[in-house]
Amino acid sequence: MEKLFEKVFGNEHLTRIESQQIAEKIFEGQMTDSQIAAFLTALKCKGETAEEIAGIAETIQRKAVMIDCQKENVMDNCGTGGDQSGSFNISTTAAFVLSAGGVTVAKHGNRSISSKSGSADIFECLGVNIALSPEKISTILNEVGLAFLFAPHMHPKMKYVMKVRKELGTPTILNLIGPLTNPVLLESQLMGTYRRDLLEETAKTLGELGRKRAVVVNGAGGLDEATLAGTTHFALLEQGQISMHTIEPEEVGFARLPLAAIRGGDAKQNTEILLSILKNQASPYLDTVLLNAGLGFFSNGKVSTVQEGIVLARECVASGGAFDKLQQLIQIQKEVA
């Protein structure tokens, strides 16, 4: 371990196997908080590579609690967080739209780490029990087509890094890895990242982890979501090939909006924003979710273009289907509980 640490401290990249070796020690509780913090900080200063990301992600996923899902082409739309934008919970809201459109969504997420409100905080505010057993989560996912997977419960070994992550208060390689470690065997994925420089490499990693189709997106302003503030960049993984693309708001029927227009607040405020969107109240928040849900439908292969995905997303919200999906989720939780 000392040689591997010296390698990182010396600004050298680790191989995938070396990353796995360190991750094995971390997630078996064989490193101190100080060692973990030093390792994460050194990687951040050096710049994380795809090999390092893949090695740690594979180790975490191997130790995860598995969720049995009988549905086909399950997807997640979890982002890395860490963009420091203060935006509302875009991907959490979009998950209800995607599910209403017939996509099975295993929404992987956590409490806030470096933001005011994480996806887990929102689901709790909505009345969703995030502490259900794997068996009950499986039932919900199979019957509703949408379930929330609370990362600390899915990844019990993550307990060894939670204190350090909270104290560091800044995005690390674990933010980049979180969306890669969904315990459900996903076929497709929409993944937001605050690291535009890793779009292509992250898409390659998703392919290596078994995704048949995926989009990795970085919005204007460095957000880990598509935005209407300017150019959104994304990498598309399709049939093992990676292609790079951009979206301008005007190209898909939206006006440009400043990032300040989608600023959120704490969990209560962001939950109110989510409900206003699912009730089809016109706003920059709604438009932003329609764009991201449209990308989600495209990522899943439900539609052949992003524009078609936006049209479908708009129908899902306007028809009340997205709001109904929330009600279904709350109701079935009462039944299984």
49 is known to lie in a ligand binding site? no
119 is known to lie in a ligand binding site? yes
52-61, 240-249, 287-296: the lowest-pLDDT one: 52-61
Residue 131 reports pLDDT greater than 80: yes
pTM of the model: 0.92
268 is known to lie in a ligand binding site? no
165 is known to lie in a ligand binding site? yes
Residue 194 corresponds to which tokens in the numbers above? 């605050």
Q: What percent of the chain has pLDDT over 90?
A: 86
122 is known to lie in a ligand binding site? no
34 is known to lie in a ligand binding site? no
How far is Cα 22 from Cα 4, in angstroms, rounded to an integer?
Answer: 8
33 is known to lie in a ligand binding site? no
Domains and CATH numbers, the chain: 1-61 (1.20.970.10), 75-154+163-336 (3.40.1030.10)
Q: How confident is the model at residue 83 (pLDDT cuts 50, 70, 90)?
A: confident
Mean pLDDT computed over every residue of the chain: 94
- What pLDDT does residue 113 have? 62
> Closest Cα to residue 296, out of 73, 72, 97, 110?
97
91 is known to lie in a ligand binding site? yes
- What pLDDT does residue 114 have? 54
224 is known to lie in a ligand binding site? yes
188 is known to lie in a ligand binding site? no
Q: What is the pLDDT of residues 232-280, one digit of tens each?
A: 999 999 999 999 999 999 999 999 999 999 999 999 999 999 999 999 9
Q: Taking a C-beta distance cutoff of 8 angstroms, is the pair 78, 91 a contact?
A: yes
314 is known to lie in a ligand binding site? no
- What pLDDT does residue 115 have? 60
16 is known to lie in a ligand binding site? no
What would the mean pLDDT of 12-29 be, rounded to a whole number? 96
How far is Cα 170 from Cα 96, in angstroms, rounded to an integer?
Answer: 28
Residue 305 corresponds to which tokens in the numbers above? 């273009």
Cα–Cα–Cα angle for 257, 270, 160, rounded to 5 degrees: 115
Q: Taking a C-beta distance cutoff of 8 angstroms, is the pair 261, 284 a contact?
A: yes
> Closest Cα to residue 191, out of 238, 226, 220, 142?
226
Q: Please give the backbone phi and psi of residue 264, each rounded to the nearest 5 degrees, phi first.
A: -110, -155
Sheet strands (E) in the chain: 75-76, 105-109, 146-150, 188-192, 213-218, 232-238, 241-247
Q: What is the pLDDT of residues 311-337, one digit of tens each?
A: 999 999 999 999 999 999 999 988 987
325 is known to lie in a ligand binding site? no
Q: How confident is the model at residue 84 (pLDDT cuts 50, 70, 90)?
A: confident
319 is known to lie in a ligand binding site? no
What would the mean pLDDT of 75-103 be, rounded to a whole number? 93
115 is known to lie in a ligand binding site? yes
How far CA 293 is from CA of 136, 163, 227, 258, 296, in Å, comes to 26, 33, 12, 19, 5
218 is known to lie in a ligand binding site? no
87 is known to lie in a ligand binding site? yes
How far is Cα 333 from Cα 30, in angstroms, rounded to an integer?
Answer: 37
182 is known to lie in a ligand binding site? no
Residue 317 corresponds to which tokens in the numbers above? 């919200």
Q: What is the pLDDT of residues 89-98, one digit of tens each?
A: 999 999 999 9
276 is known to lie in a ligand binding site? no
Residue 25's contacts (CB-CB under 8 Å, 6 or more residues apart) are 1, 31
Q: What is the pLDDT of residues 132-154, one digit of tens each?
A: 999 999 999 999 999 999 999 99
